[in-house]
Amino acid sequence: SLLKTATNVADFAAAARRRLPRVVWDYLDGGAEDETTLRDNRAGFERLKIMPRVLTGNAKRDQSVELFGTRFASPFMIGPTGLNGLFWPDADLALARAAASADVGFALSTASNNSLEEVAATGPGTRWFQLYPWGDAAFSARLLERAKRSGYSAVIVTIDTLTAGKRERDLRNGFSHELRITPRVVLDGLAHPAWLRSVWLGRGMPRFENLAEFLPPGASASQLADFTRSQRNPSFAWEDIERLKRTWEGPLLVKGILASADAVSALEAGADGVVVSNHGGRQLDGVPATIDALPDVVAAIGGRGRVLVDGGLRRGSDIVKAVALGADAVLLGRSTLYGLAAAGQAGATRVLAILRDEVDRTLALAGARSLVDLQQMQIVSSPPSQL
């Protein structure tokens, strides 16, 4: 079976592509406009080289990392993605369980299909909540209150989506926050019966469950999608980050930072860290690859906050390169979604195990014992700045 034969993330991507209807695959895999940033995130890692050190006595290695008082087994966690229910029934529960079983963190999107309370009820595990700054102050205060009550230990505020990116695959497919039942989608579904049976016929169209309480009871998936589209707030500002920090009180990260000056603004607004991210190439096309933007952000933060990065991490060696350039940890977007879409919780779990093994093997071959080692050895040189 796939779980036995898949040796890397790319194998799961290929299997996910076979299982999903085209419209769903395009939503998962696509980027904005010409997808140059989507490709560049990968190219950035491929350009970077590791200069290995030998005979360093690193027979035993430790890839664990501490973030906001919690120790995780690996320097990666499952990042926030919306509409996971299109890939697998109860996908947010599956991802939360996969993360907990690998002893890594899980970030739940505002746009999840299982509610934050349901995800919290999956059992032990460290969970963070990703807030889209939609609607007014009362809207976010209510979501943060629910997250706090359900034991989420940190909040990630995503600020790179105040305006929707131009995702042309989705535009061509007529896809926007929901899968509308058109003749083409029906044919697409019939051509992918495993998906059709489990997702569509199994659970029905996934709804934005976190938002259901803001509409009258019994709101449909389509009404909830309408609601999300109506809630964008393009005038969200740094003062609003200050307000969210006061409301939340706990650790808060700002996700979607590329410019080092914005990283400083995030700290000044009270953030405890940033996520260097271009939303996986799904928002502004033509921005730098995140791995290229990382070193300047790390320098600007200067140890005053935590720095996470995401975008194009598909290999343990990518994760090692990000940490070597100063990231505390990375978020996984599509990597674990490929596993999920191919084989549910078991697929996501397998992707996490593959990455953990690859990180360990890369540390071994590069001559590092730990993540701290990695940063001190300077075995990855930052690329000449093209920014």
> Annotated binding site: which residue ranges?
27, 80-82, 109, 130, 132, 158, 167, 255, 277, 279, 282, 310-314, 333-334
Q: Which among 79, 126, 84 has a CA at the least distance from the CA of 277?
A: 79
Two structure tokens written together for 235: 């005038």
- The reply to whether 255 sits near ligand FNR by the rule CB under 6 A is yes
Q: Which residue is nearest to ligand FNR (CB)?
A: 333
Nearer to ligand FNR, 63 or 158 (CB): 158
Spatial separation of the C-alpha atoms in residues 45 and 321, rounded to whole Å: 8
Residues 6+ apart with CB under 8 A from 255: 80, 130, 156, 157, 158, 159, 160, 274, 275, 277
Q: Which among 133, 146, 161 has a CA at the least distance from the CA of 212?
A: 146
Nearer to ligand FNR, 63 or 81 (CB): 81
Shortest CB 54 distance to ligand FNR, Å? 31
Q: Are 92 and 119 in contact (CB under 8 A)?
A: yes
Binding mask of the shown chain, residues 126 to 155, with x at each position contacting ligand FNR by CB under 6 A: ----x-------------------------
Nearer to ligand FNR, 257 or 313 (CB): 313
Nearer to ligand FNR, 323 or 368 (CB): 323
With contacts defined by CB under 6 A, name the span among 73-81, 165-173, 294-302, 343-351 that binds ligand FNR. 73-81
Using DSSP, state whether 189 is helix, strand or coil: helix
The sign one gets for the Cα dihedral 263, 264, 270, 273 is: positive
Binding mask of the shown chain, residues 332 to 351, with x at each position contacting ligand FNR by CB under 6 A: xxxx----------------
Shortest CB 1 distance to ligand FNR, Å? 25
Spatial separation of the C-alpha atoms in residues 219 and 178, rounded to whole Å: 14
- The reply to whether 28 sits near ligand FNR by the rule CB under 6 A is yes
Question: Which one of the listed residues 42, 192, 207, 279 is annotated catalytic?
Answer: 279
β-strand pairing of 329-332 with 306-310:
parallel
Residues binding ligand FNR: what is the number (CB under 6 A)? 23
Two structure tokens written together for 50: 């590791």
Q: Which of 19, 192, 245, 279 binds ligand FNR (CB under 6 A)?
A: 279
- The reply to whether 81 sits near ligand FNR by the rule CB under 6 A is yes
- The reply to whether 310 sits near ligand FNR by the rule CB under 6 A is yes
* DSSP string covering 34-96: T-HHHHHHHHHHHH--B----S---SS-B--EEETTEEESSSEEEPP-S-GGGTSTTHHHHHH
Q: Are 44 and 289 in contact (CB under 8 A)?
A: yes
* DSSP string covering 107-118: EEETT-SS-HHH
Two structure tokens written together for 166: 């131009």
Spatial separation of the C-alpha atoms in residues 111 and 282, rounded to whole Å: 16
Of the chain, the end-to-end C-alpha distance in Å amounts to: 45
- The reply to whether 21 sits near ligand FNR by the rule CB under 6 A is no
With contacts defined by CB under 6 A, name the span among 133-141, 239-247, 266-274, 330-338 that binds ligand FNR. 330-338
Binding residues for FMN: 80-82, 109, 130, 158, 255, 277, 310-314, 333-334
The answer to whether residue 279 is catalytic is yes
Q: Distance of CA 134 to CAs 149, 162, 202, Å? A: 20, 8, 30
β-strand pairing of 65-67 with 70-72:
antiparallel
Nearer to ligand FNR, 185 or 379 (CB): 185
- The reply to whether 288 sits near ligand FNR by the rule CB under 6 A is no
- The reply to whether 321 sits near ligand FNR by the rule CB under 6 A is no
- Interface of this chain with ligand FNR, residues 84 to 123, rule: CB under 6 A: 109, 111
- The reply to whether 158 sits near ligand FNR by the rule CB under 6 A is yes
- The reply to whether 306 sits near ligand FNR by the rule CB under 6 A is no
With contacts defined by CB under 6 A, name the span among 1-9, 66-74, 232-240, 307-315 that binds ligand FNR. 307-315
Binding residues for glyoxylate: 27, 132, 167, 279, 282
Nearer to ligand FNR, 6 or 107 (CB): 107
Footprint on this chain of ligand FNR (rule: CB under 6 A): 27-28, 41, 79-82, 109, 111, 130, 158, 255, 277, 279-280, 310-313, 332-335
Active site residues: 279
